[in-house]
Amino acid sequence: MRVSTATSSRSDSRVFTVVVQGYGTAQARNAERSITVPFVRLQTVMQSISQLGGKVLSVTPCSEAPAPAAAKPAATKPATTKPAVSHADVPVNLYKPKDPFVGSVTENYSLLAEGAIGRVNHITFDLSGGDPQLHYVEGQSIGIIPDGADANGKPHKLRLYSIASTRHGDNLEGNTVSLCVRQLQYEKDGETINGVCSTFLCDIEPGAKVKITGPVGKEMLLPDDEEANVIMLATGTGIAPMRTYLRRMFEPAEREKNGWQFRGKAWLFMGVPTTANLLYDDDFNRYQAEFPDNFRYTKAISREQQNPSGGRMYIQDRVSENAEEIFTWIENPKTHVYMCGLRGMEPGIDEAMTAAAAAKGLDWAELRPQLKKAERWHVETY
Ligand code: NAP
């Protein structure tokens, strides 16, 4: 290995070319690659390469060091002063737990194919007749207060669910809201326990009345920009907000209604245990067929596919496979990332982004808070 750092006295502005092998995602591992690294990042990058099993072949100063500002790729730019996502006109808490809106169920059907694990239902409520009218935008949640009382005889507390319909509702009339709900079930002392609210919702019949609160949430709002790029990372029912975004972007009647002519690129990563557990899959396949230049759909089917280590294929493994490309998207200031579902996916996604950032001489631990501040990194996980 050749290491030379001795040609310049401009210590802070120096830039180096690091030639490395055996580093990066699967396809890139065998190739020899050059990475341009500013002096201040050199040590961190070398450590990260070594931790990830890469071999540094040489480190040489670039003959012409770019000016410090030019040395930083776009992704490291601090937050823009204007928020990327408009918070104006986003309704919040129109109905509170003490005085909820009472809606009625219009439909409740299973989203799963035969052989799927568990129960996941799409449930729609009629919101008409409220004063004020209960309305919401894509990316928000509503609260549901299940009927009945808890073990102490007190009314049940509300549970929040991400909204799965656009503001226009599935019927496009602007007076309904839909949810995507998995029945929570777990074993305790040899007994199967059913989640109170999720079971209430999965069992509910059309016509039944339901106490609804909200809407709440400004973390998962879509940008206004019709040319934004949107990366979506969802596990299971975490698909709910992504379905609203994708309908807003690609569902023909919804597009006509909303007048939002999305022209950017969208990339959905979806994690489910089996093919039969895929949610809204036919719609997403249709969008992919109709908008091949704008929509990519990547699935991680954990109990049918294996990751490179022979374990279950999780969404973070798909992110890892595509980390360089995802990172290139993120370097574009028009790109937003949305994550919804199981919290367990977060460390693996961070790991993949850390490697992709390091390959460009950047530190993900520094970059991620900047993306968050710029309202381009949106996370709602449990
Ligand atoms: P699920 O069907 O149980 O799981 C979805 C997929 O995630 C499965 O393939 C599962 O694999 C995989 N998985 C398990 N552990 C993982 C990990 N550590 N990293 C990555 N993937 C992992 O999902 P679900 O029951 O619908 O649950 C979704 C979760 O999202 C719930 O916790 C729910 O509360 C939450 N959620 C959050 C929001 C929100 O934030 N607003 C909205 C909706 C849902 P295996 O089971 O095969 O291991």
Predicted structure pTM score? 0.81
Among protein residues, the one with the nearest Cα to ligand 1's atom 44 is 238
- In the block, residue with structure tokens 């070319």: 17
Task: State what percent of residues in the chain have pLDDT above 70.
Answer: 79
pLDDT digits (tens, 9 = 90+) for 222-235: 999 999 999 999 99
- The one-letter code for the residue type at 360 is K
314 Cβ inside 6 Å of ligand 1:
yes
Question: For the chain, what are the domain ranges?
Answer: 2-72, 101-216, 229-381
Is the model more confident about 144 or about 62?
144
pLDDT digits (tens, 9 = 90+) for 76-127: 443 444 556 677 689 999 999 999 999 999 999 999 999 999 999 999 999 9
CATH number of 101-216, picked from 2.40.30.10, 3.40.50.300, 2.60.120.560, 3.40.50.2300: 2.40.30.10
318 CA from centroid of ligand 1 (Å) = 15
What's the pLDDT band for 32 if we cut at 50, 70, 90? low
380 Cβ inside 6 Å of ligand 1:
yes
Instruction: Please say if the pLDDT value at position 134 is more than 90.
Output: yes
**Burial readout 152-163 (b: 16 or more C-beta within 10 A, e: otherwise):** eeeebebbbbbb
pLDDT at 41: 62
For all residues of the chain together, what is the average pLDDT?
Answer: 86
pLDDT at 57: 72
- Of 23-27, 69-73, 338-342, give the range with the top mean pLDDT: 338-342
* Ligand 1 mutation target, pool 219, 235, 245, 302, most atoms within 8 A of CB: 235
235 Cβ inside 6 Å of ligand 1:
yes
pLDDT digits (tens, 9 = 90+) for 42-64: 666 666 666 556 777 777 666 43
Instruction: Please say if the pLDDT value at position 262 is more than 90.
Output: yes
10 CA from centroid of ligand 1 (Å) = 50
Give the up-direction half-sphere exposure of residue 254: CA atoms within 13 A in the CB hemisphere. 20
13 CA from centroid of ligand 1 (Å) = 45
Residue pair 329/298 in contact (Cβ under 8 Å)? The answer is: no
266 Cβ inside 6 Å of ligand 1:
no
237 Cβ inside 6 Å of ligand 1:
yes
pLDDT at 86: 73
56 CA from centroid of ligand 1 (Å) = 38
What DSSP state is assigned to residue 106?
E
Length of the chain equals: 382
Task: State what percent of residues in the chain have pLDDT above 90.
Answer: 76
Measured CA to CA in angstroms, residue 365 lies from 37, 339, 375 at distances of: 16, 17, 16
- The one-letter code for the residue type at 364 is W
Measured from the Cα of 184, ligand 1's closest atom is 25
pLDDT at 89: 81
Residue pair 335/341 in contact (Cβ under 8 Å)? The answer is: no
pLDDT at 336: 98
Cα(141)–Cα(161) distance, rounded to whole angstroms? 5
Non-local CB neighbours of 295 within 8 Å, separated by 6+ positions:
246, 249, 250, 265, 266, 267, 268, 284, 287, 288
182 CA from centroid of ligand 1 (Å) = 10
pLDDT digits (tens, 9 = 90+) for 272-308: 999 999 999 999 999 999 999 999 999 999 999 999 9
Cα(156)–Cα(171) distance, rounded to whole angstroms? 30
- The one-letter code for the residue type at 95 is Y
pLDDT digits (tens, 9 = 90+) for 155-189: 999 999 999 999 999 999 999 999 999 999 999 99
Measured from the Cα of 348, ligand 1's closest atom is 19
Measured from the Cα of 237, ligand 1's closest atom is 26
382 Cβ inside 6 Å of ligand 1:
yes
CATH architecture entry for 229-381:
3-Layer(aba) Sandwich (3.40)
pLDDT at 59: 73
What's the pLDDT band for 12 if we cut at 50, 70, 90? low
pLDDT at 31: 60
- Mean pLDDT calculated for residue range 231-255: 98
Residue pair 10/61 in contact (Cβ under 8 Å)? The answer is: no
pLDDT at 97: 96
322 CA from centroid of ligand 1 (Å) = 21
What's the pLDDT band for 69 if we cut at 50, 70, 90? very low
Cα(377)–Cα(270) distance, rounded to whole angstroms? 17
Instruction: Please say if the pLDDT value at position 74 is more than 60.
Output: no
- Weakest mean pLDDT among 244-253, 284-293, 330-339, 351-360: 351-360
244 Cβ inside 6 Å of ligand 1:
no
Among protein residues, the one with the nearest Cα to ligand 1's atom 42 is 238
Instruction: Please say if the pLDDT value at position 359 is more than 60.
Output: yes
Measured from the Cα of 118, ligand 1's closest atom is 2
pLDDT at 87: 74
- Mean pLDDT calculated for residue range 202-227: 97
